[in-house]
C-alpha cells in the first residue's frame, strides 16, 4: 500500500543456465524500480536494463537481442544508492579473465571497509564513482570480484566473500559460468532448481515453479555454487549460522513460496489464527488488506468463526506501494490502490487484518475510507508485532523516528490511525507460525536484537537509543 506497506525488500535475483524473463516476472513483487538481464553466449556478456517494471523494460526486440546460454536477472528496490539507471542491476565489470555481471538481494554493513579494500588494490577504485549516492554496495563487490590476484573468478570469490558482511544473496556470471552465494546467516532466501536443460538459482521457489524447474534445495548460508555445463560444484566460504529474515514470512515473499521447508501461505494462515486467539473481538466480518493481509485474514476468520469477506477491492495495476522510493508516492498510492466495497461493509463491525504497521499511513487511510463507506466499527489486527527498530539487511525501515510504534503505546497508535481497537500478534505467536526455531530467525525489526554487526554510525545511534529506553 502506498501509505506505507510493510517493509521494503531490496530486490529479487534470478540466474539460469538456460531462461530468465519469466523468472523475473515471478519476482516482480521484490522490486519495482528497475529490471535487468545479462546474458552470455560463451564469448561476450550483454546487459539490458532500465527503470520500470519487467514488462516495461523488456519487449520482444530487447529479449531477442539477449542471446546466450547463461543469464542473470534482477528486479530492484533501492535501499542503498540512488534510484537511477546507473544503479540498476545486474552490474557489469571487468575481470582478469573477461567480464562479470552481478545481481544482489540484501544490504551490506561494512561498505566502507570494502571501499578501503578497493582503494588498497591499486587502480581498482578508479572504476567507480564513490561519491554519495552514485555507487552501491553491489557495484563495490562487482569491482572487487574483478581483482586479478587469482586465476579464476571462483578463487577470487572464495577469497573475497569472507570479508563481505551483512545480508547478501549474490547471483553472478562470467562468460562461461554462473555463480551463487549466500551470506553466512542466510538472511535473504536463495534456492537452487533444475531444468531439463540446465540449472536455476532464484530468490524464491515460486520463480522456479513459473519456469518449470524442480526445486533441488536452498543455497546454504556461507556457500558458493559454481555452475557450468558439467553441473553444480559447491564450495564453502564460511560456517553457516542461519538467521533468516522473519519478514519474508510476514510480507516479503510470495504466499506460494516455501522457505526452510515451510509454506509462506501456511505460515500466514497460522499467524491469523494466533492473532484471533490473542486479540478476539465481536464483529460481523473479517476483511483483509489485499494482497499480503489476505492469508492472515482467512486464518483469523477460521479461528474466530467470524465470516470472511472482501471489503476492499484492489487495483491490479498498482504495485506494492510500500516499495516506492518516496513517502509522497506511498501516500498518494493508497487510494489509487484500494477502494472499499460499500455494499459489503456499510453498517458492519469490521475486523481489518493487515501484515504490518510501519509508518501508519496505510492503516490511517484505510480506516478513514471504511468509515466514509459506512462501517459501524473498525478493529485493526496486525499479523506481526510492532516494528520498532530499523533494518540494515535489505528492508527499508530507514529511521526509528519514522516508525509508528516507536515512543507510542498501542493505544496511542490506535488513536493515530483512528481504529476502534488495535491488536498485534505476539513475537511468540509469529515465531510459532513459521515452525522455525527462534535462534534460526532474524527478528531485529521487532526485538532490536541484531544477528550481526550493524554499520558503525548506526551502531552508535542504536546504542544511544537503547540507553534512553533503558
DSSP state at residue 314: E
State yes or no: is 445 an active-site residue.
no
Smallest Cα–Cα separation from 205: which of 219, 194, 191?
Answer: 191
- Among 11, 135, 245, 442, the one annotated catalytic: 11
Pairing relation of β-strands 441-442 and 214-218? unpaired
CA–CA dist 265, 59 (Å, integer): 32
Q: Count Cβ atoms within 10 A of the Cβ of residue 182 and give its class: 0-12 exposed, 13-18 middle, 19 or more buried.
A: buried
Q: Is 316 helix (H, G, I), strand (E, B) or coil?
A: coil
Q: How far apart are CA 262 and CA 218, in angstroms?
A: 12
Residues belonging to the chain = 470
Q: State the Cα–Cα distance between residues 20 and 200, nearest whole angstrom.
A: 9
CB 169 within 8 A of CB 13: yes
Long-range contacts, stretch 246-249, CB < 8 angstroms, 24+ apart: 246/430, 246/431, 246/434, 246/441, 246/442, 246/443, 246/446, 247/6, 247/7, 247/9, 247/356, 247/384, 247/391, 247/395, 247/445, 248/188, 248/189, 249/430, 249/433, 249/434
The three cell numbers of residue 190 are 536463495
Round to whole Å and give the CA distance between 343 and 309. Answer: 11
Cell, residue 187: 538472511
Residues 442/286, Cβ–Cβ less than 8 Å: no
Question: Who contacts 278 (Cβ-Cβ below 8 Å, separation ≥6)?
Answer: 423, 425, 426, 429
Residue 49 Ramachandran class (φ > 0 left, ψ -120 to 50 alpha, else beta): beta
Q: Are 10 and 395 in contact (CB under 8 A)?
A: yes
Distances (CA, A) of 394 to 11, 106, 285: 8, 4, 36
Decide: 22 and 40 in contact? Cβ < 8 Å: no
The DSSP string of 15-82 is: EESS--HHHHHHTGGG--SEEEEEEE-SS-EEEEEEES-HHHH--HHHHHH--SSEEEEEEE--SSS-
Active site (catalytic) residues: 11
Amino acid at each position: 500500500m502506498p501509505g506505507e506497506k510493510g517493509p521494503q525488500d531490496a530486490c529479487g535475483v534470478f540466474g539460469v543456465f538456460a531462461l530468465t524473463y519469466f523468472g523475473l516476472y515471478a519476482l516482480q513483487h521484490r522490486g519495482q524500480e528497475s529490471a535487468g538481464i545479462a546474458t552470455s553466449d560463451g564469448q561476450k556478456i550483454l546487459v539490458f536494463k532500465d527503470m520500470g517494471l519487467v514488462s516495461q523494460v523488456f519487449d520482444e526486440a530487447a529479449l531477442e537481442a539477449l542471446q546466450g546460454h547463461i543469464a542473470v536477472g534482477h528486479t530492484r528496490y533501492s535501499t542503498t544508492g540512488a534510484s537511477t539507471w546507473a544503479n540498476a542491476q545486474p552490474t557489469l565489470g571487468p575481470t582478469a579473465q573477461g567480464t562479470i555481471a552481478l545481481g544482489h538481494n540484501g544490504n551490506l554493513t561494512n561498505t566502507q571497509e570494502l571501499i578501503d579494500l578497493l582503494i588498497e588494490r591499486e587502480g581498482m577504485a578508479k572504476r567507480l564513482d564513490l561519491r554519495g549516492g552514485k555507487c552501491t554496495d553491489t557495484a563495490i563487490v562487482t569491482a572487487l570480484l574483478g581483482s586479478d590476484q587469482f586465476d579464476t573468478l571462483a578463487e577470487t570469490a572464495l577469497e573475497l566473500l569472507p570479508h563481505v558482511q551483512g545480508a547478501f544473496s549474490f547471483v553472478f556470471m562470467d562468460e562461461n559460468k554462473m555463480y551463487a552465494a549466500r551470506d553466512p546467516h542466510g538472511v535473504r532466501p536463495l534456492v537452487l532448481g533444475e531444468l531439463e536443460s540446465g540449472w536455476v538459482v532464484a530468490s524464491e521457489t515460486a520463480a522456479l515453479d513459473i519456469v518449470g524447474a524442480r526445486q533441488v534445495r536452498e543455497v546454504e548460508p556461507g556457500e558458493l555454487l559454481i555452475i557450468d555445463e558439467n553441473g553444480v560444484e559447491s564450495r564453502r566460504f564460511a560456517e553457516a549460522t542461519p538467521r533468516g529474515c522473519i519478514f519474508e514470512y510476514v510480507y516479503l515473499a510470495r504466499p506460494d513460496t516455501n522457505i526452510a521447508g515451510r509454506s509462506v501461505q501456511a505460515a500466514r494462515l497460522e499467524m491469523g489464527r494466533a492473532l484471533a486467539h490473542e486479540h478476539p473481538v465481536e464483529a460481523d466480518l473479517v476483511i483483509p488488506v489485499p494482497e499480503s493481509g489476505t492469508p492472515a485474514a482467512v486464518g483469523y476468520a477460521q479461528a474466530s468463526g467470524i465470516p470472511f469477506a472482501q471489503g476492499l477491492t484492489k487495483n491490479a495495476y498498482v504495485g506494492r506501494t510500500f516499495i516506492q522510493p518516496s513517502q509522497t508516492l506511498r501516500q498518494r498510492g493508497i487510494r489509487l490502490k484500494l477502494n472499499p466495497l460499500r455494499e459489503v461493509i456499510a453498517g458492519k463491525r469490521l475486523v481489518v487484518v493487515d501484515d504490518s504497521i510501519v509508518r501508519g499511513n496505510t492503516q490511517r487511510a484505510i480506516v478513514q475510507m471504511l468509515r466514509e463507506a459506512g462501517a459501524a466499527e473498525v478493529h485493526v489486527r496486525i499479523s506481526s508485532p510492532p516494528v520498532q527498530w530499523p533494518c540494515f539487511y535489505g528492508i527499508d525501515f530507514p529511521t526509528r523516528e519514522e516508525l509508528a510504534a516507536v515512543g507510542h503505546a498501542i493505544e496511542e497508535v490506535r488513536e493515530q490511525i483512528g481504529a476502534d481497537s488495535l491488536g498485534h500478534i505476539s513475537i511468540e505467536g509469529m515465531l510459532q507460525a513459521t515452525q522455525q526455531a527462534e535462534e534460526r530467525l532474524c527478528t531485529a525489526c521487532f526485538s532490536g536484537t541484531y544477528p550481526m554487526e550493524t554499520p558503525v554510525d548506526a551502531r552508535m545511534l542504536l546504542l544511544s537509543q537503547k540507553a534512553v529506553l533503558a
